[in-house]
Amino acid sequence: MKNAAPYHTDTAGHHDGICHWLLTVDGVRIRVGHWPVTHAKGTILFFTGRTEYIEKYGQTALDFGKRGYSCVAIDWRGQGIADRLLENHAVGHVDSFDDYQLDVKAMIAYVKSIGLAEPYHLFGHSMGGCIGLRALYENIPVKSAAFSAPMWGIKISAAMRPIAWGLSSVSKPLGFSSLITPGQHGETYVLRATANDNVLTSDVSNFKLLQQQLKSHPELALGGPSLHWLNEALREMRLLSQRPSPDVPCITFLGTEESIVDPARVYQRMEQWSRGALTILENGRHEVLMEIPAIRNRVLDDSTKLFDA
């Protein structure tokens, strides 16, 4: 199923995006968008992070387009303007992390149906890095992969980790797993933080752009995750950590100021990725594609070199 979906050109930074609704095999409506390039060298599949949405990647798609690549991005189930899975739309939720792979399958079918240029390359950010790593094991048809701040572990203190595991686990049989994780908020982080004290980017103008996108289109906003999402995420990351790295060329970017995902898990993964390289970005925060130009351009250029190769 493929029907035209909204694309908010007023804040996307790229006016040429085209969005469609897709219906996954289990009946969930998701949104997928693409930015075509004439005579493209290939297509980059953006696996977005938790709370993210297609318009956030408009400027990045424009910049990769100048480097010769068409781009595609997705609103995963439970976020953006895809189907929200709980009555409380502010809470991020998924029934099973396996379900994200159904969204991946719909995305790949979409890319093929509209004839975007091959080869395909994966770019996974944060939660999209977790979904992307699983997709590599599931033989997604990409030639290479880039990751930024991939969620291969969540930064939780040693004291809180057993509590996170225990509370999220018992929440399922006791029937309160749809509640927001303690310490999280219904209001999206971007609108609670400021340009000067946020953990996402040191680039003031880009942070204000994120705020403007959500103020202009509040239906895109998402708050903290449910306890169910947290438990599913912890289980998925543990399962992935037990598998050897895929035999796919890879580059991973990690800022020295990362405070959302667990850097130790990223180091561990990349140390045993024989065809992979880890790039440490000095003073970079979580959103390296929204960082100051020096950091952002390095990510764009180094990713392009990998894709070109």
Domains belonging to the chain, first-starting first, are 2-308 (3.40.50.1820)
> Any idea which of 148-152, 154-158, 238-242, 288-292 has the lowest mean pLDDT?
154-158
Q: Are 148 and 253 in contact (CB under 8 A)?
A: yes
What's the average model confidence in pLDDT over 220-235? 98
Write down the pLDDT at residue 15: 86
Residue in 107, 106, 129, 139 with CA at minimum distance from that of residue 34: 107
**% the chain with pLDDT above 70:** 99
Summarised one tens digit per residue, pLDDT across range 186-205 is 999 999 999 999 999 999 99
pLDDT band at 70 (very low <50, low <70, confident <90, very high): very high
Write down the pLDDT at residue 43: 98
Write down the pLDDT at residue 200: 98
Q: Give the full edge-to-edge strand order of the sheet including 29-35.
A: 2-5, 18-23, 29-35, 69-75, 42-47, 120-125, 144-148, 250-255, 276-281
pLDDT band at 213 (very low <50, low <70, confident <90, very high): very high
Mean pLDDT score of the chain, rounded to an integer? 97
Summarised one tens digit per residue, pLDDT across range 72-115 is 999 999 999 999 999 999 999 999 999 999 999 999 999 999 99
Q: Would you say residue 13 has pLDDT above 90? A: no
Write down the pLDDT at residue 142: 98
Q: Are 264 and 161 in contact (CB under 8 A)?
A: no
What's the average model confidence in pLDDT over 145-168? 95
d(CA 282, CA 288): 11
What's the average model confidence in pLDDT over 146-159? 96
**% the chain with pLDDT above 90:** 98
pLDDT band at 14 (very low <50, low <70, confident <90, very high): confident
Q: What is the largest CA-CA distance in the chain?
A: 55
Q: Which residue has the tokens 């930074």?
A: 13
d(CA 214, CA 212): 5
